[in-house]
Chain A
Amino acid sequence: MNIFLYLDENTWFHRLDSRTKILGVLLLFCMAMVFNHPLYVAGFALGLVWLAAAAKALPNFWRVRYLLFLLVAFSTLLWPFFAKGPTPLWSWGRLQVSRESLLYAIAMGLRLASFVGAGLIFLSITTNEEFTQGLIRLRLPYPIAFAFSTALRLVPTFAGAGATIVQAQISRGLDVESGNIFQRAGKFIPLAVPLFIYAIRHTNMLAMALESKGFNPGAPRTWYYDPQMRRADYLVLALLTALFLGMLSLRLQGYGQVLPRL
């Protein structure tokens, strides 16, 4: 199974420096926080969809369509009970829903979906190594960045081994689907022990292979991927910052809010 979301396309967005991508996605996250009026947030979400289309990231949106839908649906259903507004629509004992809280709920659903969307665009245009490289350029020490990227890389490997282990134990009669919670916890042992041992063996082998290829985290090294900040990068960052500040000032003037909260 492929858990990486990177899509190997060659769009203008893919070619951006990884620092731009990291800072850019952080700015997008901030922007998603600015408004809480559903129309404004929807406008922002549409903008993200356009961005995704331009970066050819829509296939990933399709992959997580259920998740996106659930986020919006649950948020719309649940938020009204937690946010209070002045115009009551419906009430039952202490529970009440107001017009504003309903709108706010829709906005929150769209906001959550926007978070996921912005993250998806980022993961669709950034490889694991680029991400690491970006972190290093943003002054994260190399050993930490390397550990981080290797951990990411090992997730699918261990997931694959885990799937095999489950199958092996099922063929020996392990019934993972029945029993109460304590019985189920006991059944976890035949799965967890081999996985731990596999992880230890695998990591040990990997360490041997890395050392054999001259890996030395403390020593100076060179980079094959050598990202450069170009004019386009500065332009993108400037544009996004300007957009964020513009949105912020609109909000401070009272636009795009249904309730006076985040």
Chain B
Amino acid sequence: MGAAISLQDLSFTYAETTRPALRNINGHIEEGTFVVVMGHEGAGKSTLCYSLNALVPRFFRGEYCGKVLVHGVEVAKARIAEMAPRVGLVLQDFEAQLFSTSVELEMAFGPENLGLPRDEIEQRIDRYLRFVGLADMRRREPASLSGGQKQRLAIASVLALEPAVLVMDEPTTDLDPIGREEVLSVADTLRQERRTLLVVEQDPEVATDADQVWLMREGEIVAQGPPRQVLTDLDLLERCGVQPPPTLALFRALNWPGQPLTPEEAIALIQQHGLARPRPLKVGGQTADGRPVILDVQDVDYIYPAREVEALKGVSLQIREGEFVALIGQNGSGKTTLAKHLNGLLKPTRGEVLYRGRPLQEIRRTEIAHQVGYVFQNPDHQIFSNTVREEVSFSLKMAGLDEKTIRERVAEALEVVGLSGYEEEVPFTLTKGERQRVAVASVLAAQPEVIILDEPTTGLDYRHQRNMMEMLRALHRRGHTVIIITHSMWVTAEYAERVIVMKDGQILLDAPTRDAFAEERILAEASLRPPTLLRLGNYLGTSALTQEAMVEELRSL
């Protein structure tokens, strides 16, 4: 088999920047192999993807040296439209990729551009919709699909061009666990068909299945090789801001033999070497029962007026002072709708929400901001100022505080999020992780008792996810009540004290974190599963939630 992709000394610097995004990239991908690219935010992963279908240097201009060959065609000399039938590109943001009013027209767009005859287009629509399991959705409007379905449609619409190479840039980042599985199973089928596949991915468990893993750092490729070789170099992973495979990290810390990359491998090794004896799991974690109730949700129903869909059905819930709660569940299960009731953004159709015994509807909006803060998922939905200082002081100015208090509070909020000294920076030029922090600081400045965060770690790399969560833990220690909505199971396990699982607008499970993750069957009903480490923990019967605690627990056995 010949080379599908060959990168020769590729360097690229975006116009109007000085730091090269890619530096001396060399690589060789055989036809029919599956490559996973990993690395920190800004490592050049996306730029690498764009350089394969001529978006770099045709769409993004800049200084380009070196050579990229895809099936013998030199990319830099081709037009993007010429590359389209050779290299398919699926972007992370599936919303931005879909623009037609029906699924079949979305599918037809690529083949139409190629000038294919009508019956050929018809065949391709049919073939690739079936391939991704969306054959019944032909007449649907893309906007009405779930996240996983949208991303599968985006993949299918690219496959309809029948490219020899498929490139996917973080295709699962914005998806819930079931959406991830859906997309990954499509990737799996593609592999079985021996198509060349290059995927940018954060999750080490996905990388385990790859033929090759490329590790990127600061625009360079620092390691290339089979997963067993690359993913076992924990120091290097750490330096690249990539999450190490949790089971392997655990085995290393315990000095156990073997290099398990998945819980299944770990269990096999434990049985083979008799490393530990599984025991029944003792649950019954601590609850916050004695403390005063801050937020009291009483039998709330909510119906979205425009769609007449019942988004919440009889939800009752009490949040107590100083809790750290994670709301988890599939896209569309009602997590965000519930959270928006907690600061009065939505008014219940039936039932009531009380803040310290007072109905939220009776409290003025400007006042609520100082009691229950809400950080939206995308920081770009709220940043509008020219300087970080102005941005963070917004809610204080709205409340009419004096100049001196504002100055102090801004400084304090920025210190908490680790952005002291950024006061005069322009927020739009910061990285995604930093912008997220600005958004948190701007909510924190109002000093709310409760702080709600919608997907605080989505779109951040492992290192930034850790930083963000450590910051929330610090806030929690200072006495804030923290509520997060998240897709990330390991974040939930390591940081939350209490887990609320939502399904179809109802609370399916509400328990202390370890207890919740022991309920694998109930979680599966909500299309969730415990994080890697706790799947092993459930087998071994350990009650630890973090790697460090688990090491200690297993040592003391």
Contact = CB atoms under 8 A, between A and B. Distances in A.
B365 A170 contact: yes
A161 interface: yes
A194 B80 contact: no
A189 B118 CA distance: 48
A193 interface: yes
Interface stretch (A15-23, A65-73, A88-96, A207-215): A207-215
Contacts of B15: none
A172 B369 contact: yes
Contacts of B99: 150, 153-154, 206, 209-210
B394 interface: yes
Nearest to B344: A171
Nearest to A176: B365
Given A127-B101, A214-B161, A223-B118, A172 B398 contact: yes
Of A2, A174, A191, A213, most B-chain CB atoms within 10 Å: A213
B97 A205 contact: yes
Given A164-B381, A171-B345, A224-B104, 18 more contacts: A4-B141, A153-B100, A167-B340, A168-B382, A171-B374, A172-B382, A173-B399, A175-B366, A190-B384, A194-B382, A205-B93, A208-B50, A208-B59, A211-B84, A212-B84, A213-B84, A213-B109, A214-B84
B158 interface: yes
Contacts of A172: 369, 382, 394-395, 398, 442-443, 446
Contacts of B146: none
B14 to A, nearest CB: 13
B101 A153 contact: yes
A165 B102 contact: no
Contact of B382 (A165, A205, A210): A165
A198 B380 contact: yes
B428 interface: yes
Contacts, number: 170
B276 interface: no
B268 interface: no
Nearest to A187: B398
B1 interface: no
24 contacts: A127-B101, A156-B143, A164-B378, A167-B340, A168-B374, A172-B442, A172-B443, A172-B446, A174-B394, A174-B398, A193-B383, A198-B380, A206-B96, A208-B59, A211-B59, A212-B80, A213-B157, A215-B81, A219-B113, A222-B112, A222-B117, A223-B112, A224-B121, A225-B105
Interface string B91-127: 1010111011110110011111111111001100100
A221 B115 contact: yes
B373 interface: yes
Interface residues of B, number: 70
Contacts of A260: none
A129 B139 CA distance: 13
B114 to A, nearest CB: 6
A169 interface: yes
B376 interface: yes
Nearest to A206: B96
A211 to B, nearest CB: 5
B384 A193 contact: yes
B343 interface: yes
Given A168-B381, A193-B384, A224-B112, A211 B97 contact: no
Contacts of B512: none
Contacts of B340: 167
A241 interface: no
Contact of B369 (A128, A167, A171): A171
Interface string B297-315: 0000000001100000000
Nearest to B443: A172
Nearest to B366: A173
B247 interface: no
- Nearest 4 CB-CB pairings of A with B: A214-B84, A224-B108, A193-B384, A173-B369
Given A172-B394, A221-B113, A222-B117, A129 B384 contact: no
Contact of A221 (B85, B112, B122): B112
Of B100, B115, B384, B399, most A-chain CB atoms within 10 Å: B384
B55 interface: yes
B459 to A, nearest CB: 13
Contacts of B93: 205
Nearest to B113: A214
A216 interface: yes
Contacts of B442: 172
A173 B398 contact: yes
Interface string B314-350: 0000000000000000000000000010010100000
B384 A189 contact: yes
Contacts of A202: 96
A208 to B, nearest CB: 6
A6 B55 contact: no
B51 interface: no
B370 interface: yes
B433 interface: no
A184 interface: no
Nearest to A215: B113
